[in-house]
Structure 1
Amino acid sequence: MLVMIAGLMALLTVGSAAMAETGGTPQWSLALHGGAGTLDRKDMTAERDAAYRAALQAALDAGSAVLAKGGSALDAVTAVVVRLEEDEKFNAGKGAVFTWERGHELDAAIMDGKNRAAGSVAGVTTVRNPVLLARRVMEASPHVMLAGRGAEQFAKEQGLELVDPAWFDTAPRREALERMTRDKLSALDVDIKFGTVGAVARDAAGNLAAATSTGGMTGKRWSRIGDAPVIGAGTYAENGACAVSATGWGEYFIRVGVARTICARMSMLGESAQAAADAVIGEVAALGGDGGVIVADAKGETAFSMNATGMYRARATSAGLREVAIYADEK
């Protein structure tokens, strides 16, 4: 079965950007993503390409600064995701897609590999930075996941910044919903990319962490929740194994248990981060799903895998590696 899955990966994955590291094991490492999907050079102007690369670099710098000062992997992934939530180019926080009811329902999760503590939130509508709320769930509550009005109440009690739901609005996201309803399109027809954002990191102490945040899919209904806030599907971290953040068609990522399965393959089968990520994305592809993952292993080696034409991504290490990429064929 494992051989068959690996074979499917070779056939079905459009490309996985390994962006292989050079040199020895890094003291700390960081990888991030801003969504995977149909990202073709012919559809990107030079200005738009440059703007996305600059945004990814800014988020990478924010997380790298934490790690370079000896900060924790948990603080680093938080810093990255907050930065991306504040950037309307991505589908998380400001710039989140619209639901069918013309609102926003935001999801996020975070996990500390040191003790496998985790927190997640789903369907929040007024929390400026959902990843900060997910972290408070992890650190200041006895629970792992909160949703809807209860999560909003907890955010208020924790003193997190709340905003009017209109703060998340952007013209491109509204136009996407209008196009969907006017032309009777599916979410996949208007969402050429899954703009979920996420980060994984290994700090100098060897601890791993992962965080993910998303606005979901355009026109989602009935309080739909994807994989991002589901621990083990879109987000997972475990010292000695790996840290994973996913982006893609959430229903498939939940069914495969993508993040936990990647870590299990690495710890139980001895696979590299790249091999495990490729195999599991192959499973997603075989079922008909699209998307990608970022992975960091216990030594800090990082991997990217996708079955799409691109994924906004970047990574850095204490050894001096700095890479930003968009298209699947960028190495």
Structure 2
Amino acid sequence: MKIAPNTEAETTEKIQFSIVIHGGAGTIKKENMTPEKEAAYKQKLEEAIRVGYTILKNGGTSLDAVEKTINVMEDSPLFNAGKGAVFTHEGYNEHDASIMDGKTLNAGASAGTKTVKHPINLARAVMENSPHVMLSGKGAEVFAKEQGLEIVDPSYFYTESRMKSLERVKASENNKIASFYDETLKDTKFGTVGCAALDKHGNLAAGTSTGGMTNKRWGRIGDAPIIGAGTYANNTTCAVSSTGWGEYFIRGMVAYDISALMAYKGLSLAEASKEVIQNKLPSIGNGEGNGGIIAIDKHGNMVMEFNTSGMYRASMNDKGELYIGMYKD
């Protein structure tokens, strides 16, 4: 596997196409990772990004690249999306997703679905085949069936590791809701997959898919399906996908804020991303606004910015140079 340097230096030179992905941010440390598990994550990240890279290389659209790349991660139990989604307090898997087209500013999202195999496909169907931006719950599932999307029994999403995580969180509660946010279980609120891409036609797109927060209750919805918080794309600036503690990403409208800083203050993608993730986001959460983003600008420059100990991430440019990262380098 070739792992190229993570060169995030920006340039005005036009790059034909590029793609960047994340598989979630959180407490990801090398000392806690077995060689086998590390290899598994790297293999799946490479598999996913190469799917999108191939689409872009062959002249495909950024929307197709984003959707198909996320499908690979949704099919893997390694990530908190699709097959690897975490469990709610009631023992279900509830999925949220969104996608946005930087050319038209059209967007689609779904929330709280339990039977749609690929939530990102549903988000795109909402964007392209409905007059709405977001559908939720049973209605979203009815729409998915009408669109011919793949429907599965909820048991498809069951994984032993995610169930054990739910059991650990429940054991820590001691009948106190406050302990839901116990520091020792802080990563229960993290986990998302996302992709941003620039195609040969100069169009940007971004998408995000997640199972949300372990032990979530009351129909909780995080930032992943919220346009401007978990996902944003605009051809005049950038495309962004977020991962982290969703409540703070919603309050900070993180994805849109990065684009706005570029549009209104003239910041570069790297400058805007650093300002939002390292300064603004933590201040919103009194130090608890943790997570990261992956983003790409209209020139093809890519950024992978996070304030946690790690973020599963990968990028490829039009030269075929591959970068894969997990920890703070």
Q: Per the shorter chain, which TM-score range?
A: over 0.9
Alpha-carbon offset, residue 170 of structure 1: 0.3
- Quick check: 1:226 aligned with 2:215? no
User: 2:281 — aligned with what?
Assistant: 284
2:114 counterpart letter in structure 1: T
User: 1:81 — aligned with what?
Assistant: 70
User: 1:150 — aligned with what?
Assistant: 139
Gapped runs of 5+ residues in structure 2?
174-178
**Residue 255 (structure 1) aligned to one of 247, 251, 255:** 251
User: 1:237 — aligned with what?
Assistant: 233
- Quick check: 1:20 aligned with 2:8? yes
1:277 counterpart letter in structure 2: S
For residues 1-331 of structure 1, what are the structure 2 equivalents within 5 Å? Answer: 19-20=7-8, 24-184=13-173, 185-186=179-180, 189-190=184-185, 192=187, 194-281=190-277, 282-286=279-283, 287=285, 288-329=288-329
For normalisation by structure 2, the TM-score amounts to 0.92
1:291 counterpart letter in structure 2: G
Alpha-carbon offset, residue 324 of structure 1: 0.6
Q: 2:10, 2:301 within 8 Å by CA — same for their partners in 1?
A: no
Tell me the distance in 2 between the aligned counterparts of 1:20 and 1:247. 19
2:328 counterpart letter in structure 1: A
Tell me the distance in 2 between the aligned counterparts of 1:28 and 1:55. 21
Alpha-carbon offset, residue 195 of structure 1: 1.9
Q: 1:292, 1:306 within 8 Å by CA — same for their partners in 2?
A: yes
Alpha-carbon offset, residue 225 of structure 1: 0.2
Alpha-carbon offset, residue 191 of structure 1: 5.4
Q: 1:28, 1:67 within 8 Å by CA — same for their partners in 2?
A: yes
Q: 1:197, 1:247 within 8 Å by CA — same for their partners in 2?
A: yes
For normalisation by structure 1, the TM-score amounts to 0.92
1:198 counterpart letter in structure 2: G
SS in structure 1 of the partner of residue 155 of structure 2: helix
Tell me the distance in 2 between the aligned counterparts of 1:316 and 1:195. 22
Deviates more, 1:187-196 or 1:264-273: 187-196
User: 2:176 — aligned with what?
Assistant: none
Tell me the distance in 1 between the aligned counterparts of 2:220 and 2:38. 31
1:34-80, Cα deviation, whole Å (9 max, x unpaired): 00010111100111111100010000111001001000001000011
2:147 counterpart letter in structure 1: Q
Deviates more, 1:292-301 or 1:319-328: 319-328
SS in structure 1 of the partner of residue 99 of structure 2: strand
SS in structure 2 of the partner of residue 163 of structure 1: coil
2:20 counterpart letter in structure 1: A
Q: 2:81, 2:209 within 8 Å by CA — same for their partners in 1?
A: yes
Tell me the distance in 2 between the aligned counterparts of 1:25 and 1:175. 47
Gapped runs of 5+ residues in structure 1?
1-16
Q: 2:6, 2:323 within 8 Å by CA — same for their partners in 1?
A: no
1:159-207, Cα deviation, whole Å (9 max, x unpaired): 1111111110100100000011112252564353722000000001110
Alpha-carbon offset, residue 284 of structure 1: 1.1
Q: 1:18, 1:303 within 8 Å by CA — same for their partners in 2?
A: no
Alpha-carbon offset, residue 26 of structure 1: 1.8
Q: 1:77, 1:200 within 8 Å by CA — same for their partners in 2?
A: yes
Q: 1:18 to 1:186 in 2, by over 3 A?
A: farther
Q: 1:191, 1:217 within 8 Å by CA — same for their partners in 2?
A: no
Q: 2:172, 2:180 within 8 Å by CA — same for their partners in 1?
A: no
SS in structure 1 of the partner of residue 224 of structure 2: coil
Alpha-carbon offset, residue 95 of structure 1: 1.1
Aligned residues: 313
Moved over 4 A (4+): 21-24
Tell me the distance in 2 between the aligned counterparts of 1:297 and 1:177. 38
